[in-house]
Amino acid sequence: MRTINKMKTDNGVAGLTILLSLVTMLFVIGLLVMIFSLMGGELRDATFTTTSATVTNETDAWINTTTFTVDNAEAQDFASFVVTAVYNNSDGVLISAGNYTVGATGTLTNATTTTWNDVNVSYTYSYGAENTATGVMNDTTVGLSGVTDWYDIFIVIGSMVVLILLTVIIITAISKSGLMSKASA
């Protein structure tokens, strides 16, 4: 019995397996970075410490035909907004609570036809404060998301490996074809 040794040859696909492996590796790295960044962001948000704060006489506020939003309404986890006093800045008179409505998101809206274009607002609210855990999670997430900055380097190195492999295959094929004569020393 005669056995035939069958070798698999990939004619015309020099370096394709390496290139596909590189593309797959970059995809998997990107997927892992995305997953860990999302998880890190959620962990960061979950570790905020709830803190209460009081603001006395926030200036440049108004109660007129448009809605005023207090300065601290953009704080992380802004909640429990309670207005304690609103004073007309021109004469120092306390404006009664029936003249405005308070929104949970830190807004004051006029409830009457009278307008006050310059008032001082005092209020309390709670918010999520940064702590050591949030700082660590933020640094970790930023560090992980920086991995994608290396993608262009991975692509250049992978392309160089494929080109070198292709060059070696071409040189080997030319030398085996007999087109090159062997030089004598």
175 burial via Cβ count (<10 Å: 0-12, 13-18, 19+): exposed
- For residues 1-22, average pLDDT: 64
pLDDT (0 to 100) of residue 133: 85
Q: What is the pLDDT of residues 112-154, one digit of tens each?
A: 988 999 999 999 999 888 888 888 888 888 888 787 788 788 8
- Bridge partners (DSSP) of residue 55 are 123
R_g of the chain, CA atoms, integer Å: 34
- For residues 50-69, average pLDDT: 91
Token digits of residue 28? 């998997």
pTM: 0.53
Regarding beta strands 116-129 and 79-88, do their DSSP bridges make them parallel or antiparallel, or are they unpaired?
antiparallel
Whether 133 and 49 have beta carbons less than 8 Å apart is answered as no
CB within 8 A of 139, min separation 6: which ones? Answer: none
Q: Return the domain boundaries, the chain.
A: 17-45+132-161, 49-129
Number of H helices, E strands in the chain: 3, 6
Mean pLDDT of the chain: 83
